[in-house]
Amino acid sequence: MTEVKAILQQVAGGTLQPEEALSILKAAPFDDLGYAKPDTHRFVRQGVREVIYGEGKTAEQIAGIVGAMGESSNILITRLSAQKADELANRLHIRYDTVSRIAVANPKPIELVGSVVVASGGTSDLPVCEEAAITAETLGSCVTRLYDVGVAGLHRLLCQLEPLQSARVVIAVAGMEGALASVVGGLVSAPVIAVPTSVGYGASFGGVSALLTMLNSCASGVSVVNIDNGFGAGFLAHKINTMEDLKT
C-alpha cells in the first residue's frame, strides 16, 4: 500500500494527473504471499473486490488473504465449511451463513439498490439460492426471495407476478428437469439468469439434465451459469442490477 500512497502524494503535489494515477492503479500488481497473490486493486478496475474461494484453502491462508486486503469491508468468502468458519472467527470478524456456506469478513451495513429476485424450484435448492442471494446482497443489491415456486405447482409462481415483473433481473434456480427458467423467462421482461442444481434423481445426472434444459430454453433473454453456481449467478445479477446506477 506504500506504492499507492506515493501515487496519491504525487497527485496531491501536482506532479501526476488524476487520470494518469488511475491508469497506474488499474494496472497495479498484487501482494505476493507465497501461497496466494491477492489482487488488491480489483476494486479499482471492476468496482468489486476479489472474492475468496474457501474450498481447498486452510483457515490460516484465508486469514492471510483477508489481511492482505487491508481495511476492506464485506469481503466474500465462498464455499467455506463450518469448521473453517469457526477457526476464522478466532482470527477475524466474520459473519457466516450455514446454508450458503458463505462468510463475510469485516461486515458493514451498506445501502441496497435495485431489485434482484431469486426464485427456486424447490426447498432442496436453497443452498444454491442463498449463495446467489447473499452474494448479491453483500455486493449491494436488494434481493427478494421466492422459494419453492416450481412448475409442478405453477399457481405458486403465478401468484408472485408483481415482484417478478418489477425486478431488474431474476435468478431462476432449479434442479430436476430445470423447467423453471423457461417459465420465468416467458413471464418477465428482465434478464433471467438460470442456475441448474444437482438436485434430482438418477436420470438428472447430477444437474446435467437441468443444465441442458436451461441451455435449450425457448424463452428469450435467459442466460445460464454452471451447475450449483449460485455465486456466479448472484455476482452477475448484481452487475446487471446496478448498470443503470453506474450511468448516473
Using one digit for the tens of pLDDT, what is the confidence trace for 191-239? Answer: 999 999 999 998 999 999 999 999 999 999 999 999 999 999 999 999 9
Cβ neighbours for 52, distance < 8 A, ≥ 6 positions apart: 62, 65, 66, 75, 76, 77, 78
Distances (CA, A) of 39 to 36, 107, 115, 137, 210: 9, 20, 29, 22, 34
What is the structure's pLDDT at 10? 85
Question: pLDDT grade, residue 13 (50/70/90)?
Answer: confident
Cβ neighbours for 155, distance < 8 A, ≥ 6 positions apart: none
Task: Kindly report the pTM of this predicted structure.
Answer: 0.86
User: Where exactly are the structural domains of the chain?
Assistant: 48-109, 113-247
Contact 231, 132 (CB under 8 A): yes
**Residue 204 in 3-state DSSP?**
helix
CATH of 113-247, one of 3.30.1370.100, 3.90.1570.10, 3.40.309.10, 3.40.50.1970: 3.40.50.1970
Contact 36, 61 (CB under 8 A): yes
Asked which of 4-8, 117-121, 136-140, 176-180 is least confident by mean pLDDT, the reply is 4-8
Contact 70, 40 (CB under 8 A): yes
